[in-house]
Amino acid sequence: MLFASARQTVISIRMAQSVTPLQRLKFNNVALKKLPLDSSLEPGSRTVTGACFSRVQPQPLLKPTFVAVSEAALALLGLNADDVLCDPHGAEYLSGSRVIPGSEPAAHCYCGHQFGHFAGQLGDGAVCYLGEVEAGAEQSSNPISTSPCGRWEIQVKGAGLTPYSRQSDGRKVLRSSIREFLCSEAMLALGIPTTRAGSLVTSDLYVQRDAFYSGNPRPERCSVVLRIAPTFIRFGSFEIFHPVDDFTGRHGPSVGRTDIRAQLLDYVIETFYPEIQRRHLDRQARNASFFREVTVRTAKLVALWQSVGFCHGVLNTDNMSILGLTIDYGPFGFMDRFDPEFVSNASDKKGRYSYEAQPYVCLWNLARLAEALGTELQSAKAGAILDEFMTIYQDCYLDIMRRKLGLLRQQEPEDVELVADLLKTMHITGADFTNTFRLLSAVSCPAGEQKDRDSTDSVVELIVEQCASLEELKVANHPTMHELEMILSMAETNPGMFNMVANQPEVAKQLEKIGRLKELLVINEVELKIKQRDHWQRWVKQYRRRLAHECDEVSDPAAVEKERVRSMNSTNPAVVLRNYIAQNAIEAAERGDFSEVQQLLKVLENPYSVSADLERPVWSAGSGSVQADGNSIKGQEVKENTKTKAAADTHQIPYNSKPPAWARTICVT
């Protein structure tokens, strides 16, 4: 008996030693226990009624292999890179090709308003919920890296068909997966609430994709991103109860099921807003407090987006997190040349989701969430909360902009005008958004010395170098032909009507463009640079006057100046995930060289640092970046002699450079 017991102990120890960290993940899949679950595994797309989740079976990839992993994101699960990379089945587990012990694959049911219209049932068409993992022992002190429930939901995006796939194949390709993987981690490093990306896996399975809807599809490699968040529940999750829509005629699959709506709302508040649950005994008061917190988080989130020039691209209600996280990275973009009308999504022809529209769209989406909550939220109370949104947003935005300008000691009413004049100057001159803010820390606080004036002149020259060329500004200020024809026709045929509409915002905007274009058509490049320099000298003079107030009545102005510079350089990033930088990494990876994705991740994890990695040249897209073995994540260092040869044939661009001219041709849909 003693021998048998000892033998069993040895066997248990050996079995424990053979179990990998991925296999030891502790799952506690609360969402599937507390919310209605559709257990049918019926193949094909279908309407799912009376359920928030559906069980699914992920489809395996062919020869899955790691492209990159994020150490910081994996740490949320108590894992490190070696735990994943050294696991013989690691790439299979994290692509949905093999089920992790304890996981329960499922897809989430939700609806949404897309481009302003109710679209009916949408759901996770390419995403598979794997489960909820108990948080790692060492949790970050950073609030945007903690989970209120102590668990992290993990998903695989691109794992195949679900009941919500509609006409798609449930797959994602390397191109879009690289963008989501990198941007998820880049946003965290910028201090912006976001879902996370733990790993990126690609494969030898190919699907046909027509990236530009041009009728020319090409085969692309199926790839999967491991996504991590406390929950991926979104505004659209509450729209599955939507009644028949007056405009589209569509309705939610669970219309009339107020019992499930109450169940979902209770789950969200109890699990992710426990402090609100504890604070309120009255249900209506609790729900109003919850809605206000979602409103506040959303207002602060979009203020952060605006402060770094981030444009989401598809701000439908189904892409709005109930936790105030940036979610669902698709045709996003970081603005290069400052343009309030910047649209990152080439499919958004009318500019509904432009950079300047984002705060208003978020408010509109919140109103749809209030409607979706129905009788759970008093309409008068919801209206009062929504009325607070723009004030919350504007206060948060101004606070961030003060930090970006190093205005740390005083808050003056004139700061609103200073920021507005800065953005107007950036717009008129076509200045690079990211690099201009970064350069402003070199503007000195006035001390009345010639050295200060010389220093200021040199900063202005550097900013002018970041401004747009004459040709670029001509293109940027050219109104669309339809709008131009309408305005000119009205001015000629009906002057009275023209005078009536000339002050309307859209018409006024087009007239302003025509005026700027007229000026640009009669000057040359040298004259443009003189004008740009004049604009910036005027604004910098205004800025320095404001900086002088920061030093009023201080005993050590040098210390104040030093702190200002430090603060600005830790608020204004030196690098963001510009489209051309992502494109270089994508093109290299599509040739089998994953080293650029890994290198770029390191750079984006430290966006405020100017390091050797930041200055490392990026090869111009499409022009012969070197080949490397794509089957291993380790040892992918490009040989120096190959780099030297490539450098002779390509244009080298540091990560923090103003984008090259070809970057403007990149189209993201």
Amino acid in position 653: I
Please list, in sequence order, all residues whose beta carbon lies within 8 angstroms of the beta carbon of residue 77, skipping any fewer than 6 positions away. Answer: 25, 133, 135, 136, 152, 154, 198, 228
Write out the E strands in 279-402. Answer: 310-311, 333-334
For residues 579 and 659, what is the distance between their CA atoms, to the nearest angstrom? Answer: 9
Residue 472 and residue 659: Cα distance in Å, rounded? 12
> Distances from the Cα of 443 to the Cαs of 440, 453, 545, in angstroms?
5, 10, 11
Angle at 107 between CA 105 and CA 108, to 5 degrees: 135
Please report, as a single letter, which amino acid is at residue 639.
K
Closest CA to 441 of 627, 622, 569, 543: 569
The residues near 6 (Cβ < 8 Å, ≥ 6 apart) are none
Cα 603 to chain centroid distance, Å, stands at 17
Residue 414 — φ and ψ, nearest 5°?
-70, -10
- From the candidates 38, 318, 432, 593, give the one annotated as an active-site residue: 318
- For β-strands 196-209 and 218-229, DSSP reports them as antiparallel
Q: Rounded to an integer, what distance in angstroms lies between the CA atom of residue 67 and that of residue 199? A: 8
Residue corresponding to tokens 């789950």: 267
Tell me the H-state helices in 440-592.
Answer: 450-465, 470-476, 481-493, 495-501, 505-520, 525-550, 557-569, 579-590
Which of 626, 624, 621 is CA-nearest to residue 579? 621
Task: Please give the angle made by the CA atoms of 220, 83 and 97, to the nearest 5 degrees.
Answer: 40
Contact between residue 272 and residue 252 where contact means Cβ atoms under 8 Å apart: no
Q: What is the CA radius of gyration of the chain?
A: 27
- The residue among 629, 635, 633 whose CA lies nearest residue 199 is 633
Burial class (CB in 10 A: 0-12, 13-18, 19+), 356: middle
Asked about 649 being catalytic, the answer comes back as no
Please give the DSSP secondary-structure letter assigned to residue 469. P
Q: Which residues are catalytic?
A: 318
